Chain A
Amino acid sequence: MADSVNLTIDGKAVQAAPGTLVIDAAKKVGIEIPAFCYWEGLTLQAACRMCLVEVERMPKLMTACTLTVAEGMVVRTETPLVAEARKSMLEFVLTNHPLDCPVCDKGGECELQDMTFRYGAGEGRFDEMKVHVDEKQWSPVVYFDAPRCILCYRCVRICDEGMGVDALGVIYRGVVSEIAPNKEDHLQCDECGMCIDICPVGALTSGMYRYRTRPWEMEHTGTICAHCSNGCKTTLGTRNGQIIRGNNRDKSGINGEFLCIKGRYAFDFNSHPERLQSPLMRIGGKLEPVSWSRAIGEVARRFTEIRERGGRFGVVGSNRTSNEENYYLQKFARQGLGTNNIDHRRTGDVPALIDALAGRTGVLATVKDVYTAKASLVIGSDLAQQHPLLAYQLRANWRHHQSHTYTVTRGPVREDKYSVHGVRVEPGAELGALESLRDQLKAEPELVILFGDAIKGEAVRRLVEFGDSLGIPVKYICLVDYSNSRGAVDMGLLPHLGPGYQGVENPGMSLPEMLAAEDLDAFWVVGANPLEHNKLAADRAFVVVHDLFLTETAERADVVFPAASAYEKNGTVTNVCGEVQHLRSAVQTMGVKTDLEILGLLSKEMRINLGMWTPESVLREIRQTVRGYNVALPVIAAGGAAQSLPLNGRVTLDSRPELIQSAGDTLFTSGTLGRYSKTLLSVLEYPGVLYGEAAEPEADRR
């Protein structure tokens, strides 16, 4: 077969690879063929008939979305016949479509509205009664209005093929056909809202956005989701300083069209009524609201006093604060307070991987690699629950490229439905089980290994040795939990490692040691909740907490600073694959400050010079000083993802890998933050289970 096919579309010469669809070939030369049911990456449906085009030597109009290019083909998309066909098709589509655009949430960004405006007839010829069916609520976040549906099957396909959930189907026939959920009158699914996003009309609408505003009334800010570590871009629509909806409006992030329930709906923690909006100080045994200057002054005075008498500090950083804040915090602790007692909740053994791969290049996989690699191996993680974007990419890779997937997990996972080989193991036996896959993996041309917290410490080195022994190119992803878990490690929120995995002299105390140390004088928690399940042994310690809410840790504090959320600040975060992306402030909440500003004000009050505390200046310092973070600024500034590559030297390893423990969040939980999202709590599937997948192998079914 030839490498490319030559054809003519509307008089323009087009070259396209064999097998390309005419609709895609036309797009390449800037010709838009309208279509409802066609969606790049999903199976072909040819249900809407909007993409009809004239092709020379073909007796009838052809659907451009199913027609593959052929040598010498001559396609015409703007002839009177095509225009007439489009007009008639729209008339059919509108036969039962109600004229309720003024109350429809899709109004203003509706594909049917746009198409009718461009190609449609001003009036229809049908004057029969329209079929009316009452609107249904399928879940707290999904509403379905059947009459508006044009039966393009996009939702059915994205749910089945894209998500692998298969929660939607079509019932009845002909004019009364209807999309139906999997549990008769409600949905039991991932509640990801992909069906709502993909719906070209207002048939599927979001329960959270319902009647809140209209699309043109909102401002849109593309930022990075505050929940899991995959780093999806979510576009926050805001009005009057309130986040009204999240979606991926321009599909420009590493996640493309994908978003899960957390990225799409779980922004509502931001306007939770329990948000702290004033600093609190313990006065007479009770936390009372005080002014910022008083709270900052008190903390600065106590910290200075403790530092001067040589007291012990314990500093806990966050998995969700920006790289700039993490960097500034560790600098504050190490240079300002003179302590290495700094840690965070460790959720994956990144340092061990960086150490095992020292000196190599091109061995850290990106999110895109998961989509393009010929084979992938998932070890010890329920990917669809814990890392939804990676699971989506892996699945898309299988759908589009027939890639091979292998899983080694302690229970059934969704990837098993299409994996070549799924191995069930007892927790802790993951590494040993790899041997049974050795021969199969050796036959693969390349491999991406994704491993969770089951592989840590020495096991990481042995995993890399196993990868080397296969004799094929292998890339790795160390799975971590939260939006900036990777950044927290990279920025040196560890007692034994500084920024960029540089070892420090005199390693400090780890988090459990701080909690157990009875002589701790000050305990400073920036955006974490270590006292959720633990007690602080040091009764007399001066406790300072930065948080959005009065968490268990904040309740024990002497001073609580109300912090800005990730949706209220600028900065950068690093996702699970080490890709650095820009956070953009979408809204402001009255009375809060970003952690960076709080750190800056404290350092000023304590007369410690740590440099300017704007995100831009700290990022400049990070790029100059942190190994692997000299990432391309234009890429980040333009909303892209630039991978940090910290692989150039040996790393001092902590000898206690048991401190590394994933929180085991599902699709519907997100640590302490998830407790404050009413949407997450409201869905039927909450709290979800890991390794709870039970279904027949999909590979057989197809």
Chain B
Amino acid sequence: MASKIQDALSSAAALAKGMGVTLKEMMSPTITEDYPDVPPKFQERYRGVHVLQRDENGLEKCVACFLCSANCPSDCIYIEAAENTDSLRISGGERYARIYNIDYSRCIFCGYCVEACPTDAITHGHGFEIASYDTSTLIWRKEQLLAPASPRETQTAINPPPGVRSPV
């Protein structure tokens, strides 16, 4: 008989303990994010889809030095370089990346490319929605990676002010 009372009491205690946790969590702020209804939040240092940055004149920072691709452990960056001319100035330096592809079917988001970049051109953004049913779409081109240029910046990119030279 005594054991039955004991069982009931311990069950009640366990129930109270469980409900206690529930009640406590009800009071604390939520951790679960409402993705995709609400955009997710990231730590500042999160390594997402790369962004090719522009300088203060709207010119591309990348000078196609190939160091990112040399440093890449999964060999996923492909670059072709070309020379800036007076009529077509793309980057601040003498040369720019005519083609800049990152193969996201290979990229392991290790951040070595960002560390290697001497001009801080390539950075990790917070983008992560790159899943695809078609692997061929996982090769991202420069146009997809570039930071957007404001209309005013686009204008400067085409007609840079005189004397603009590479910061390097």
Interface residues of A (CB under 8 A from B): 99-103, 107, 135, 210-214, 216-217
Contacts and interface: CB of A to CB of B under 8 A. Distances in A.
Nearest to B62: A102
B107 interface: no
Interface of B is mostly: loop
A102 B81 contact: no
Interface string B77-96: 00011110000000001110
A102 B67 contact: yes
A102 B65 contact: yes
Contacts of A211: 64, 81-83, 94-95
Interface string B57-69: 0000001111101
Given A211-B64, A211-B94, A100 B83 contact: no
Contacts of B67: 102
A202 to B, nearest CB: 11
A102 B118 CA distance: 7
A101 B81 CA distance: 15
B74 interface: no
Nearest to A98: B168
Interface of A is mostly: loop
Contacts of A102: 63, 65, 67, 93, 118-119, 168
B11 interface: no
Interface in B37-76: 63-67, 69-70
B93 A103 contact: yes
21 contacts: A99-B168, A100-B93, A100-B166, A101-B65, A101-B118, A102-B67, A102-B93, A102-B119, A103-B63, A103-B64, A103-B168, A135-B94, A210-B83, A211-B64, A211-B81, A211-B82, A211-B83, A212-B81, A214-B65, A214-B66, A214-B70
Contact of B70 (A99, A100, A101, A216): A216
A217 B81 CA distance: 12
B64 to A, nearest CB: 7
Contact of A103 (B70, B80, B166): B166
Given A102-B119, A103-B94, A217 B66 contact: yes
Nearest to A99: B168
A53 to B, nearest CB: 34
Given A99-B168, A102-B118, A103-B166, A213 B65 contact: no
Contacts of A101: 65, 118
B113 to A, nearest CB: 13
B35 to A, nearest CB: 38
Given A103-B64, A107-B65, A217-B66, 18 more contacts: A100-B94, A100-B166, A102-B65, A102-B67, A103-B63, A103-B65, A103-B166, A135-B94, A211-B81, A211-B95, A212-B81, A213-B66, A213-B80, A213-B81, A214-B65, A214-B70, A216-B70, A217-B69
A423 to B, nearest CB: 50
A212 B168 CA distance: 19
Interface string B123-161: 000000000000000000000000000000000000000
A102 to B, nearest CB: 3
Contacts of B168: 99-100, 102-103
Contacts of B66: 213-214, 216-217
Contacts of A107: 65
A102 B96 CA distance: 11
Contacts of B81: 211-213
Nearest to B119: A102
A406 B78 CA distance: 56
A214 B70 CA distance: 10
A216 B69 CA distance: 11
Nearest to B78: A240
Residue of A102, A210, A217 most packed against chain B (CB within 10 A): A102
A408 B69 CA distance: 57
A146 to B, nearest CB: 14
Contacts of B118: 101-102
A102 B166 CA distance: 11
Contacts of B69: 217
A101 B65 CA distance: 8
A210 B65 CA distance: 12
A211 B97 CA distance: 10
A421 B134 CA distance: 76
A613 to B, nearest CB: 37
Nearest to A217: B66
A284 B69 CA distance: 53
A653 B94 CA distance: 61
A135 B118 CA distance: 22
Contacts of A213: 66, 80-81
Contacts of A216: 66, 70
Contacts of B82: 211
A211 B95 CA distance: 7
A103 B63 CA distance: 6
